[in-house]
Amino acid sequence: MHHVSRRKLLKLAAVAPSAVALSRMGPAFAASGGKTLNVVMQSDLRITDPGFTTAIITRHHAYMVYDTLLGIDSNFKVRPQMADWKISDDKLTYSFILRDGLKWHDGAPVTAEDCVASLKRWGSSVDGMARKLMDFTASIEAPDAKTIVLKLKEPYGLVLETIAKPSSICAFMMPKRIAETPINKQIPEQIGSGPFKFMQAEFQPGVKAVYVKNTDYVPRKEPAEWTSGGKVVKVDRVEWITMPDAQTALNALQSGDVDFVETPPFDLLPMLESNPEINVAILNKFGFQSFGRMNFLHPPFDNVKIRRAALLAINQKDVLDAQIGNPKYYKLCGAFFICDTPLASDEGGETLVKGNGMAQAKKALAESGYDGTPVVILAPSDQILLKAQPVVVAQLLREAGFKVDLQAMDWQTVVSRRAIQKPPKEGGWNMFFTYQGAADSMNPLVNGAMVGKGTNGGWFGWSEDPKLEELRDAFARATSPEEQKKIALEVQKEAYDQVIYVPLGQFQAPSAWRKSITAVIDGPAAPMFWNVEKKD
C-alpha cells in the first residue's frame, strides 16, 4: 500500500509539480472545523462558464453552482426541479412555474425573466439539441415573476427532455444580467441558485476550486436521484484539488488526505480494490463514447477524401488497448448512437472495429491529392482518459502516409484552443480527441458532435452538412420508433461518408473514494457532491 503522510506529500512538492497543489491548501485542506470533502476530479478546472464549452469538468462545476428547471431520474424520466410544468392541449405552449424559495447566491430572488434569459443564452450555444429546440421555438417569455412560457412553431416531442438533459451543455439557470452575456464571451461571475456557492476568492486554476454549502438553498422534498430530487448538502465545503500526477493522487486517497478520485488509472485499480478502506465503483453505468474530431475549415481535413483516408487508417482496438487496457471496461463499437440501444448499427464502422483498413488508407491517401500538409493534433498530457488517443492515432496516420505534428498541452488548453477557428499556423488545429457520455450520444439530436451547421452554431470542427441537418430535423419530427431507427441509420451513413467524427469505442470509468464517504450519487452526470456524507 502507498500510505503517505502529509509531511511526505509536502516533501514531494519539490519534485512532483502536481504535489505543489497540496502545499498550497492552507488550513482548510486539513478540514479543521467543518466537514470538507477533498476530491481530485478528472482534470483541472479553467473554464467556469457552462454555456461556453462542452468540457465535462465545466459541466461538473456547473451542477455544483447552478440549478436546472427540470431534472431526470434513473429511468430517464423528466422530473420537476426548479419548476413544474403544464402543456397546452395543442402541444404548442409549455408553461413552467417556478417553485417557492429560490434565491440567487447574491440574495436576489430567482425570477422567470432570469430563466428566460438563461434559456435563450443556452439555446444559442454549440449544443445541438438546445439549438434544435430553438429552431422549433416561436417565443420564450415571462408573463409574471413565477411563469416561463415557451411557445412552439409546430409540435415538438423533445421539449422537456432537452431542457432536462444532463449533458453536455445543460440548461443551467443564472441571473438575467449574467445570462445576457453573449455566448462567445465568458460570463463575468459565478452566481447561481444551486446547492453550493463558488468561492471566487479562493479559486486558483491549476491548484484548486472551492465550493461551500449554500445555506439558503431549499431542496425539493423527493429523495435525490440522478439530477432530480432534493439536493441536500451534508458537508460544509468541497475542494477540488488539481493533481495531474495520478500516483500522487492515489497516494493521497490512501493516506486519507483526499476523499474521492474521479478517474484513477485502470492499471492501478487492483491496488485500490485490495485496500479495505477504499470503494471502487462505476458511477456512470452507461459509460462513454470516445471519439476523434477533425477540423473541416482548414487543410488537409477540409478535403473529404483525406478525411476518409484517415478514417480507414484508424482502428478502435489499438486506441482502447492504450487508453483503457482492460477489456472488462471497454467495447469495440462502430455505432454512432451506442451499441445495444434501439438506434445501434454497425454500418460504416467496419474498418474501425476490425482494424483492417490500413492498406486501403494508404491507397486512398495516395489518390486524395494530399500534399504533405502536417496534421496538427492536440494532445492533452494530464487527462487520464484522453492521453492515449492522440498518440496512437498520430502513429496510425503516420503509417498511412500523413505528416503529423503532435502538440502536447494540458486538457484545459485543448478546451480553449479547440474553439479557435484560425488556421493551425495561427494557433488553430486539425484534430483533437474527447469523449461524451453514452447517454449523450444515443440519438442524432442529443449527440452534440453530430451537427452540420458549420461556423453558424456548429460544434468545434465546424462540419457544414445541410443533408445532415435535414435528417436531424426529420428525426425530430418522427413519431414512431421504426421511423426514428430508419432516419438514425441514414444519419449514420452520412456521418461515416463525410467523417463527421471518428467513433473510438465505448468504455466505463470507475471512480474511487474512501469508505468514510457514503451516499455518492450515480447517473450520467456523476459525480455530484450533494447527498454525500462524510464520517469523522
pLDDT tens-place string over residues 208-244: 999 999 999 999 999 999 999 999 999 999 999 999 8
Pick the CATH number of 67-179 from 3.30.360.10, 3.90.76.10, 3.20.20.70, 3.90.79.10: 3.90.76.10
Q: Residues 288-507: name the CATH superfamily.
A: Dipeptide-binding Protein; Domain 3 (3.10.105.10)
Stretch 57-69: mean pLDDT: 97
pLDDT of the residue at 34? 85
pLDDT of the residue at 26? 42
**DSSP secondary structure letters along 502-534:** EEEEEE---EEEETTEE----STT----SS-EE
Residue pair 156/476 in contact by the 8 Å Cβ criterion: yes
pLDDT over 90 at 72, yes or no: yes
Residue pair 78/72 in contact by the 8 Å Cβ criterion: yes
Report residue 33's pLDDT band, with 50, 70 and 90 as the boundaries.
low
**DSSP secondary structure letters along 34-54:** S-EEEEE-SS------TTT--
Residues 6+ apart with CB under 8 A from 189: 178, 200
- Residue ranges of alpha helices (H) inside 403-465 are 411-417
pLDDT over 70 at 275, yes or no: yes
Which of 127-131, 367-371, 486-490 shows the lowest per-residue confidence on average (mean pLDDT)?
Answer: 127-131
pLDDT over 50 at 159, yes or no: yes
pLDDT tens-place string over residues 478-503: 989 999 999 999 999 999 999 999 99
For the whole model, what pTM was predicted?
Answer: 0.87
Which CATH fold topology does 6-65+192-284+509-534 show?
D-Maltodextrin-Binding Protein; domain 2 (3.40.190)
Identical fold at 6-65+192-284+509-534 and 288-507? no
pLDDT of the residue at 32? 43
Q: What is the DSSP letter of 276?
A: T
pLDDT over 80 at 11, yes or no: no
Query: What percentage of the chain carries pLDDT values higher than 70?
Result: 94
CA distances from 517 to 36, 39, 276 (A): 11, 11, 13
Highest-scoring range by mean pLDDT, 33-42, 88-97, 436-445? 88-97
Distance, in Å, from the CA atom of 301 to the CA atom of 324, rounded to the nearest integer, reads: 28
pLDDT of the residue at 9? 40
Residue ranges covered by each domain of the chain = 6-65+192-284+509-534, 67-179, 288-507
